[in-house]
Homo-oligomer: A and B are copies of this chain.
Amino acid sequence: MRRERVRDLLARVADGTLAVDGALDELAQEPTESLGFATIDHHRALRQGFPEVIYGAGKTPEQIVAIAERIAARGDGVLVTRLSDEAAAAVQRALPLAEYNATARTVYLSSPVAPAPTRASLLIVTAGTSDLPVAEEAAVTAGALGCRLERLTDVGVAGIHRLLARREMLDAAGAIIVVAGMDGALASVVGGLARVPVIAVPTSVGYGASFGGVAPLLTMLNSCAAGVTVVNIDNGFGAAVAAARILHA
């Protein structure tokens, strides 16, 4: 149950539009719910402002649908990431209002009680076209968490004037996510130009000695520009959650 929803309940009790017993019933729901193969953390929305997001990899379509239905039944928004085609179809059948994003491989059902939009915007900067699926996972997640979004795409350092030409976008953002594979050098350059928090997402784009994203991961961890923090390879989702925490602060 999201914090917004609880606040709304309390407000309705305060102004008399909801009886105390009705509010009690809603609040009395168990914080965790066991499905045998899963223990859903319904309390997470209240604790951290967003419900448990379902990581689709390694779960069967049946498991994903069952968890998604239980979260939706609480009136919370539902976000599923890393979906196979088969699982995405199953979730869409179960939750017809949910939106499928084929690039990001996500399904998202918005909550009736949306989070307040952030004041400042999140800028997602991408080094190359091949990095777009990861950037899109970040965009869907950040959108679900109420972030306003800007994008700057395919501005890798092989042609650095593409970035310098749009420097005002770096100055305008409240937080920046940099998505880059191969050499990952874009994160350091952005980190040296920006004043705001920069979250770097290495991607598995590349070959040979990129070792599935290890090369840009190490580049970003060793960034000579201070103030850059890093998440796991291809983890657009995690970067967006961190950015949302920053922008909602």
Measured CB to CB, the residues of A under 8 A from B are 31-32, 34, 36-41, 43-44, 47-49, 52-53, 55, 57-59, 63, 67, 82, 120, 127-130, 132, 153-162, 164-165, 174-175, 182-185, 188-189, 191-199, 202, 204-235, 237-239, 241-242, 244-246, 249
Q: Would you call B231 and A221 a contact (CB within 8 A)?
A: yes
Q: Would you call B174 and A249 a contact (CB within 8 A)?
A: yes
Copies in the complex: 8
* The 4 nearest A-B residue pairs measured at CB: A208-B233, A58-B130, A229-B229, A185-B185
Q: Would you call A185 and B157 a contact (CB within 8 A)?
A: yes
Closest beta carbon of chain B to A33's beta carbon, Å:
10
Closest to A119 in B: B249
Q: What are 25 A-B residue pairs whose CB atoms fall within 8 Å in the complex? A: A34-B153, A41-B158, A47-B195, A48-B194, A59-B129, A59-B130, A158-B188, A158-B223, A158-B226, A160-B192, A164-B164, A182-B224, A183-B219, A185-B223, A208-B212, A209-B233, A210-B232, A216-B222, A221-B230, A227-B238, A227-B242, A227-B245, A229-B229, A229-B242, A230-B231
Q: Would you call B196 and A188 a contact (CB within 8 A)?
A: no
The A contact surface, by secondary structure, is: mixed
List the B side residues contacting A234 at CB < 8 Å: 207-208
Q: Would you call B63 and A224 a contact (CB within 8 A)?
A: no
Q: Would you call B32 and A161 a contact (CB within 8 A)?
A: yes
Closest to A151 in B: B36
Q: Would you call A158 and B218 a contact (CB within 8 A)?
A: no
| A188 in complex: contacting residue of B183, B212, B228, B246, CB < 8 Å | B183
List the B side residues contacting A174 at CB < 8 Å: 249
List the B side residues contacting A195 at CB < 8 Å: 47-49, 245
Closest beta carbon of chain B to A162's beta carbon, Å:
5
List the B side residues contacting A226 at CB < 8 Å: 53, 158, 237-238, 241-242
Q: Would you call A208 and B215 a contact (CB within 8 A)?
A: no
15 additional contacts (CB under 8 A) given A222-B232, A227-B244, A228-B242: A37-B132, A38-B153, A48-B227, A157-B224, A158-B224, A183-B219, A184-B219, A185-B219, A196-B245, A207-B235, A208-B217, A208-B234, A209-B233, A211-B218, A246-B249
Q: Would you call B41 and A196 a contact (CB within 8 A)?
A: no
List the B side residues contacting A188 at CB < 8 Å: 157-158, 183, 185
